[in-house]
Structure 1
């Protein structure tokens, strides 16, 4: 069948790369894509938050399955428009996407159903939160209520940091207790009824080594996560994920697609930090590298209510991805710098997913985003996979970028 993937980052490159390997994939189209995705899919420049434009492309290319990568089209209701036209789509409705689109919505749902999460207060306007933050015991976590590309969160160690974070937010805000413990990511795939657990993964959010610096969209990831034991996974499913899915179904807005639960592993057990209503980025890169099943069969089953008939299979190998980001990221990334040496790096056996690249007018590969490349490797364990990833990075010639040197080291 002909398949359309929406998005243009590293997650979407990983999805396209795995879909392209299926014998069930006839034509593969990606909108808008990037320079790396163009090697495996036909890239088309449209607005992916415009349901009418996406539907027109689907009809023009005779698309049989749409896979939505990022959150913005889901929140904009693109999946709803496609389903209304009878097009199979992997991704939740706009109503179900509120789990990510509104942190306040998820906090209220958690409170209503006893889902363990940090204590919180919601404010309709950031200005209303100033007095609360000024006198609240520290540290405190300040979150923009809406979508923020993974960067709308500040862990304020001082009142001044909290107030500065509020000054950057225009609109509703959630202020919450700062939880203590390591973080981990739990991923599931569901068709609204059947739930399939995906391998665990662990993101590295901070910009610099040693988990220092500002939060980013993610500077690397590993899979599996040594932090999530079978007992912790079962607790998270029982106490957090399943009650959430049951609540969404009871509201008449059942969830279908990938659901990513960001967890804090506290001394009293796993607690929900936030939900993402799609695969994480860069976690998708390590998960797609480990996926051994036919991706088209799996995604089609989830999109059409037949997930009970398919059990995904994943490699026992470990995976590590290291993000190479443009200088100045995450605040003001420098664009247009040339990148060379990717073929030499890939010759070592890694897979490089492009997160933000384009081909310049003179034919060179150049940076076109904050996060630019994901150097991703498999190994018998995390140590072997990270050694291969970093060996490959040493082959890449790019003076305009930087990366963390400790991805997976603590594992």
Structure 2
């Protein structure tokens, strides 16, 4: 079986004009015509690009594809694409394969219990209400990203990790800066150093006096301080920017589709399905990467050992072979089977917490401000389409101030 010649010179990332939620038109074309093609990476590596739901799901489920950073090639342009990365540090299990990944994953999965998620759901309601009270006091217009979309998941990470109440405002501000695409490199470095230093102190405190939270539970295991700090950093990074982006980008999408938003307001039973449909429609982590550990037959081609495969997850979640009328946002759709949280052994560990946050935060926002609308024309909303899709700012207003 012969391999096809290069078909894509770079990763297609440019969204269609006026369609900020849709994948690049080139990805749509490739999914239709040839869902597995060769792609040239910025460092010169010749790998693959996958665009169909079936093939993306197949790669994510296959242990012959690795997430290890030291054998990966970045598809994104920029200086980072030319860097070589070391093996994952202890605790950074997202960049590990089995059995190392399995050890950490098994230990953490048991901490995301139904009881803990139920307790966190009650706290989401409290946090959302407090942030909406603050928004109302500020009066319109406000930037929904800063006023709501970022604080809610940041404060929930505090609750999950067991950050003391007295420290939560400082921790929230530091964590938010560390995930701010507008921050300068100096600000990012200071925020990251501050977060790491704080988490080291927090781990030592949990060791001395374990508490009923995730980090307190983990502190009683055989994990080292370095492992605990790195796990906390992973949870902070994965749980803040993604959920924040979903809340802001999801609101932006819904404000442009008032008939969908009105249907949700009129029928609270839509909430669970509406959240899943927003996850599918937006798929805010548009690309994932895997490296082949051995030769793998995939989609009629052979991916050789060492070759990188970039998965266009957002294109896969718009695959008409899996979802009817996939480019329509339909809150009554059954979006079961979407890949927004990934698939396989690396499927998002905190997905249930993310769902809880969205199931509470979206309806709470729309109930509090029934006349919520954009304060600027849609084309003036600054977008961020890179490794995580979102809006940099979302100016909104409402009546009755």
TM-score (norm 1): 0.28
- Compare relative contact order (CA 8 Å, sep 6+) and give the higher one, 1 or 2: 2
Greater strand share, structure number: 1
Greater helix share, structure number: 2
